[in-house]
Structure 1
Amino acid sequence: MQTQGYAVRVGAVLIASIALIGYLFSFFGHSLAPKTYLLNVVFNDVSGVIKGSKVQMVGVDIGQVTAINLKSDRVHVDLTLEIKQKYKIPAGSDFVISTGSLLGTEAVVNVVPPTGAERSALDIPEGATDLHGTRALDLQSTMTSANKLLDQLTVTTAKAQEILEKSSALATDPKLQAHLRQSVANVDQATANGVALTHKLDALITQDNEMLQGMLGETQRTSRVALGNITDTTAQIKYTTTENREKINEIVGNLRDTTAAVEGITSQANDLLSKGGVSKNLSEIVANLNVTTQKLAQMTTDFQKVAGDQSLQGDLRETVHNVRETSEQTTILVQRLNKILGVKGKNATVVAAPGVGAVIVAPGGAPKAPQVDSIPVILPRVDLEVNTREKRFRSDIDAFVPFGASNTFAQVGVYDFTEANRLNLQLGQVIGKHGGSDYRLGLHASKLGVGGDIGLGRGVSLSADYYDPNHARLDTRGTLMLNPNLGLLFGLDDVTHHTGAVVGVELRR
């Protein structure tokens, strides 16, 4: 009986001890276990990932995969990641599935934090479910891409072989070889013609400048004589201002205006000799001389009226004679300058170039509506431009040679000078009420074509050339002249096929 009681006590103590140990294990085991939090990341492909796969960040194990679930769309997979509490993942991090080798084993979920300016001070919140991941390149995906690339390479090789066969057939074609030899001969001939034309243009321009310099020197001398005569006349008029003072004062005022006009002519001539700009300055001089001639003619008439006074006849006879002499000398000077500019009639005309129009200065100096009365002997033009599509520089040299007063001209030049050296040779006709437009027909870039120019005023013009009947091509240009010798160039090359924007500068003389 005593033994049985002892056994009962031992059993009770044993049961209590087991219960106590279980309680302690449950209590302390829960508190000692590492704390974690969960994240849900969606992937398109999780091949190689299993439950328990590692989660690493910059090579450090920070957790594991606890669940893999196929989403309802049967396209995406949801991975549940258990992350240790002590590791916080920066916001904006990438989740990438990678393998330890090309064979696709040991899949690991790598967390790639952002760097530099993309790094955020915030962390991904615990329990986040709106995260998305990608898969790194492995052997299988590499082989798939390689197979596609090989298929494309096979097709490309076949096409290249076909092109080579066709090119070989063309290269051995006797007709093609004959055409190529003829084309090379044409280019050589065009180059030689262009060089000869350039030499002739240089000689002509030099000769023209020498003639203008001589005429301007004579203009200065004549102006000085006229100025001296007018000064003497002014002194005589002031001496005889006893009677008819009002009429004589008016005459003296006209003489002062005339003196200022002649001084302006002398100043313009000096500026022309030192700075150039022959056409523009000469047109201004002609206008001022026309004004001077009119004023002198009017003064002669006034003097004749005043001379009816018997008390002034003797003094004014000599004055009228001097005024007439000055008027005749000035008229001769105007006629000589008009001859230099090729002007017929009463209007002084300066033509800038086909497509730009003319500026007419009538007697009295007031500009009239533009029209084309005559054109200077030669108008050289150089275009320096860059095709932004082909990234290629090109220079064109042209000269416009008019045919008298019939409003027709010839364009002669070299397209793509020093490179292709193609010939420009066209006949043109100025059209329009004010002569601001023209059309052309002939060879452009050694190809048969037509072209046209439209002047919009204020130094702005538009041009177009349609040429090469076998491979029709359209080139367009716009020009904004900054001054008589320099302008900005813009347009489009080969509008009908491979359009390329063109920018550059245009030089005129």
Structure 2
Amino acid sequence: MQLTDNRRQITVGVFLLVGLLIFIVGIFTLGSQRKTFIKSITLNVVFNDIQGLKTGNNVWFSGVKIGTIKKIQFYGTSQVQVFVNIEEEAHKYIHKDAAASISSDGLIGNKIIVITGGSPKFPFIEDGDKLRVNTTLSTDDIMKTFQVNNKNLVEITTDFKSLAKGLVEGKGTAGALLTDQKVAENFKAIVENLKTTTASANKMAIQMDQFSKKMNTKGGLADKLLTDTAVFAKIQASVSELQKTAKAAAVMTENLNTASGKLNQKDNAVGLLLNDPKTADQVKAIMTNLETSTKKLDEDLEALQSNFLFRGFFKKRAKETAAKEAAAKKQGN
């Protein structure tokens, strides 16, 4: 009887010991998951909207869980202040300009806080520091954007449907190209003309290239014109002479214009003769009188030669003239 009682007590003791061990292991396991027994520092972040964050949600840094949300409370008029516990070992990777944002643990998982490391030129965070907020789109914002995009997509699809219908019915230029054979042939002709023009342009470019190479041929006229200073100086001198000649021709032309202008005026002798009929008649009369007088003078001279008083004089004069002509002939030979 006593042996049975001892066995029962031993059995109860073993069960109690096993239960106590399980309890202790559970506490340490949960504590390790919650990082209860790890030294930590406290940081705080002020959000306009925490999007469903709860106490106990995780805090992540570079894809690693480094802490949990300790406390959530209202801040100011409508903001929310969130206190987080961060492993003390993690603070040497996070700088004071680090930013915190709200994200999700998976597509539909619990909300979490994600911290970015910041710039190395800033010191590391310390216990009680306040992190700045990195504003990101929430799930609701993303869904609103999706709704707007879907609406735009429906409008674009409707417009494209109308456009496709118009193309099938041959409306517009594009529809005419697709349905009207004549328009399509004209368009093909335009394309062919463009090809021909392009080929001509390419040919012209090749010829211009060849011409430029000839221009650059050493020893050629173009090369001398561009590089030989002596040839250039001669050409420049020739141009100067041409300019002088052109200037002289211009002066002569101006003089001729002036002279021709004088011929059309009556303030000079030639112009008076050309433009005044009365003066011209007078000149004609004078010329007629001179001609008559000359004829009479010839007759008088002939009469004097026949006169015996002057006949010796004219014979002597004729002999002297003949002698001078003979002497001139001898000198010429």
Is the strand fraction higher in 1 or 2? 1
TM-score, L = length of structure 1:
0.30
Is the helix fraction higher in 1 or 2? 2
Higher RCO (C-alpha under 8 Å, 6+ residues apart): 2
TM-score, L = length of structure 2:
0.43
